[in-house]
Amino acid sequence: MRNTYDFSPLYRSFVGFERMANMIDQASQDNSPSYPPYNIEQIDEDSYRIELAVAGFGQDELKIESHKNVLTISASREGDESDAERKFVHRGIAGRGFDRRFQLADHVIVTGADLVNGLLVIDLRRELPEAMKPRTIAIGEVAANDKKLTGKTPSGKSKAA
């Protein structure tokens, strides 16, 4: 039996968080395919690594695309002539194409990808813009724009006084 959750209170209570509520709603439905198997590893505070088991696929058969916070990894294989000539007693290594998507947080970028021993390794990094990084504000410090707008110094006196 699958639990279903009602996320409508999120839509009513949070303004501007519709995208996050939609992501939670989609994740709760979890009807995503299980192939190919993968790992997600946090390397440090701002670095991540995704590893996909892509045994049997060559570098030219894999496609990685990052667009609007969605990382898509896909693979397709045209009919392999050598498979037609082979007679398998058991075929356990899946060679079917796939399309796997990962939702990325804001400011997470792909920094590299490599194919090592049948694993597709994708490195990711969160790079916050300077404006979003925490900064210390000295007491009595007034931004240059505030002085221009109000015409007052930090003590509250006007410039002309």
Q: What are the domain boundaries of the chain?
A: 1-31, 34-128
Helices within the chain (DSSP H only): 8-13, 18-29, 81-85, 144-150
Name the token pair of 9.
């209170």
pLDDT in tens, 91-116: 887 778 899 998 888 889 999 999 99
Q: What is the topology classification, in CATH, of domain 34-128?
A: Immunoglobulin-like (2.60.40)
Cα–Cα distance between 126 and 111 in angstroms, integer? 10
Residue type, 111: T
State how far the alpha carbon of 55 is from the alpha carbons of 47, 74, 78, 81, in Å.
Answer: 25, 13, 16, 18
Question: Which among 65, 84, 90, 85 has a CA at the least distance from the CA of 75?
Answer: 65
What pLDDT, on a 0 to 100 scale, did the predictor assign at position 77? Answer: 76
pTM of the model: 0.62
